[in-house]
Chain A
Amino acid sequence: MISPVLLELALQFLVLSLLSIGGANAIIPEIHLRVVDVHHWLTDADFSQMFALAQAAPGPNVLIVSLIGWKVAGVAGALVAMLAMCGPTSALTYYVANVWERFRDAPLRIAIQRGLEPITVGLVLSSGYVLTRMTDHNEAAYAVTGATVLLSLGTRLHPLWMLAAGAGLGALGIV
């Protein structure tokens, strides 16, 4: 009854979830590698559309996973992909939370945290870079990306306004 595509989706996102130490934003290049380059489930254009939709909707960044699942195998695909992405790691978190308190001040724990911190930064920056290369096809698009970076770093403007401005410029055919 369970189709091979659903099993493959579950397997891919299970592996991805175990690699996602910096959260969903850190593994976008790896998701892209597996979903577009290896399995050819989505094209570059599909991927960048799903990313845009996930960002335009309310909710956690990990929602892009449900959209990829949907694109590959409909609503069942969306649910399977999300379950594989969140289920096993949630169970792991539940059990680790039980023992975590005991190791809170252990030197090894602190060393692990200080080691993982810069890796996460490098991975999230990679995601931003890969997304920019994939989604920006002209100077106007690069300008929108650059302006968003500057506004986000320099002001307390809500991100929704920046997405809305991007949508407006795009709808007018400028980006």
Chain B
Amino acid sequence: MDANLSADSPPPVPAPRVTTRALFTEFLKVGVSGFGGVLPFARRMLVERRAWLTDKEFNEVLSLSQFLPGPNIANVSIIVGRRFQGPPGAIAAILGLMLMPIAIVLLLAMVFAEFAQVDAVRGACNGVSASASGLVVALALKMGNTIRRTPWQVGVAVVAFAAIGLARQPLLWVLAALVPLAVACGWWRRE
């Protein structure tokens, strides 16, 4: 099946040969191994284990993925799949990434619904929520490391937090006001 898909994808880079099937199976493994975010597992597969991308290429793919709307890891799978096999590669990569986790989490939810009245099960769920909330807070603080030496960036982050976290304003209006302002700051303060 893979042999029929000639590599007619746009970028003619001297890259490793990666089949559509390999894209599907490798992203499938990434999807099911990632707990609390799969990005680190994606990096390990792409850069360290299969060497489909160099370190620098991975960072470029990631920054494009973060810059565009949509789940970051989904965007990574699309860009990597496209690079090696065009549209079939992109579709294989994102399906590989998503299908098993969706099936697993739905099964888990159905089982949970059966036992939701049991005190211990509900308690465990509360405990996981409490801990998982902490993981999100920690993620924000780790991400903040890259901006904390730049006062205007700290200011933008504080305004975003105040508007969304504290004041619970709708995201659309906050972004409509804040994105142009922040990009203008990025433009004036460029090195």
Contacts and interface: CB of A to CB of B under 8 A. Distances in A.
B51 interface: no
B16 to A, nearest CB: 18
Interface in A1-54: 15, 17-25, 27-30, 33, 48-54
B138 A148 contact: yes
B37 interface: yes
Interface residues of B, number: 99
A71 B156 CA distance: 35
Contact of B183 (A104, A112, A136, A160): A112
Interface string B121-150: 101111111111111111111111011001
B187 A111 contact: yes
Interface in B136-191: 136-144, 146-147, 150, 153-161, 164-166, 168, 170-172, 175, 178-179, 181-187, 189-190
Contacts of B94: 86, 90
A117 B135 contact: no
Nearest to A98: B10
Contacts of A58: 31-35, 38, 101, 104
Contact of A119 (B116, B182, B184): B182
A51 to B, nearest CB: 6
Contacts of B186: 110-115
Contacts of A122: 156-161, 164-165
Contacts, number: 377
A123 B137 CA distance: 11
Contacts of B175: 19, 21, 119
B83 to A, nearest CB: 8
A157 to B, nearest CB: 11
Main secondary structure of the interface of B (DSSP, over half): helix
B80 to A, nearest CB: 10
A100 B64 contact: yes
Contacts of B7: none
Contacts of B172: 15, 19
A170 B127 contact: yes
A148 B129 CA distance: 11
Report, as a range, how many residues of chain A touch the other chain: 35 or more
A73 interface: no
A interface majority secondary structure: helix
B97 interface: yes
Nearest to B127: A170
B67 to A, nearest CB: 6
A170 B108 CA distance: 18
B120 to A, nearest CB: 4
Interface string B17-47: 0000000000000011111111000000000
A51 B98 CA distance: 17
A27 B66 CA distance: 13
6 contacts: A56-B132, A92-B69, A113-B63, A116-B67, A131-B132, A132-B133
Given A27-B171, A127-B136, A145-B134, 19 more contacts: A19-B172, A20-B70, A48-B126, A54-B105, A59-B102, A60-B31, A110-B186, A111-B184, A112-B183, A115-B187, A118-B160, A121-B160, A125-B140, A141-B126, A141-B127, A152-B142, A153-B141, A166-B132, A171-B127
Closest 4 CB pairs of A and B: A170-B127, A59-B101, A122-B160, A89-B70
